[in-house]
Amino acid sequence: MIAINAQAKLTVSLQVTGVRSDGYHEIDAEMVSLELADIVTIDPDGTGLAFDGPFSAGIPVDDDNLVARALRLADKSARVTVTKNIPHGGGLGGGSADAAAILAWAEFDDLERASRLGADIPFCLVGGRARVRGIGEIIEPLPFAARDFTLVIPPFGVSTPAVYRAWDSLPESQRHLGVNHLERAALEVEPRLADWRERIQRASGIEPVLAGSGATWWLAGSHPELGDELREARVLVTKSAYLRR
């Protein structure tokens, strides 16, 4: 058996630059790998998929799971157990990181095909810090920058497909606002995000940024004291990191 770190990613900035004729959204984003990571344990002699760990509840283990789809893409079979330390539905690329760990184990490095599974998977294969364009398959590595981040994870998730559908429905004047172009659409899909943004800003004095499609909000720097102020949320302090398999 082999155990692989599947590191979370943080989308520091995100522009949605267009929609292709096949419906895929094109982006121009800066992403960084985090120390926060799932552990993907692979037994090449077995079959099946299981999840444990603090964020494992409710994750489906059917053939549509990204790990199962990554195995099919790489034409591999294995028994895979994922210890979930990355919240799912939080915009931190946990499922994509798990799928990327499978592809890395299988020595699969076709970023364009990997992007068809999920836009974050190519970055999770490359890791570090990068500019990410196209539908996620164009990765331009950037110099590593050591940074601390505080993640505030509300007690609910947000559907990425629903957020992109909401972005499509926004008036043109509201589609390209702020550091994260998906933030306005995510607030349409999940109005409770607005309350959390206000609570985080009151507690920290800093306006937070939505991580990808949400539901996680992030702040630059280390703010562990927010855990006392925002008890219903999970507050994690983590660092940018090189990709470590």
Residue whose pair of structure tokens reads 């184990």 in the numeric block = 105
- From the centroid of its chain, how far is CA 206? 22
Residues contacting residue 48 through CB under 8 Å, at least 6 positions apart: 61, 79, 80
Q: Tens of pLDDT along 9-67?
A: 999 999 999 999 998 999 999 999 999 999 999 999 999 999 999 989 889 899 999 99
- Give residue 121's pLDDT: 97
Architecture of domain 148-239: 2-Layer Sandwich (3.30)
Chain segment 176-228, per-residue pLDDT in tens: 999 999 999 999 999 999 999 999 999 999 999 999 998 999 999 999 999 99
Is 76 a known active-site residue?
no
Q: pLDDT, tens digit, for every residue of 60-99?
A: 899 999 999 999 999 999 999 999 999 887 889 999 999 9
Buried b (16+ CB within 10 A) or exposed e, 7-40: bbbbbbebbbeeeeeeebbbbbbbbbbbbbbbbb
pLDDT at 90: 86
Whether 62 sits among the annotated catalytic residues: the reply is no
Question: Mean of the pLDDT values across residues 128-146?
Answer: 96
CA distances from 118 to 65, 142, 175, 227 (A): 11, 21, 22, 31
Of all helices (H) and strands (E), which one includes residue 236? strand 234-239
Here the tokens at position 105 are 């184990």
Q: Is the pLDDT of residue 245 over 90?
A: no
- Active-site residue, from 9, 38, 84, 98: 9
> Could you tell me the fold of the domain covering 2-141?
Ribosomal Protein S5; domain 2 (3.30.230)
What is the per-residue pLDDT for 243?
85
Q: How many residues does the chain have?
A: 245
Residue 88: predicted pLDDT: 83
Judged on CB neighbours under 10 Å (0-12, 13-18, 19+), 107 is exposed
Task: Extract the tokens encoding 169.
Answer: 């429905």
Domain boundaries, the chain: 2-141, 148-239
Please write the tens of the pLDDT for every residue from 102-134.
Answer: 999 999 999 999 998 999 999 999 999 999 999
DSSP-assigned states of every residue in 2-41: EEEEEEEEEEEEEEEEEE-TTSPEEEEEEEEEEEEEEEEE
Angstrom CA distances, 111 to 117, 121, 180, 230, stand at: 10, 8, 24, 39
Q: Which is catalytic among the residues 64, 109, 120, 195?
A: 120
The number of angstroms, rounded, from the C-alpha of 36 to the middle of its chain's C-alpha atoms is: 11
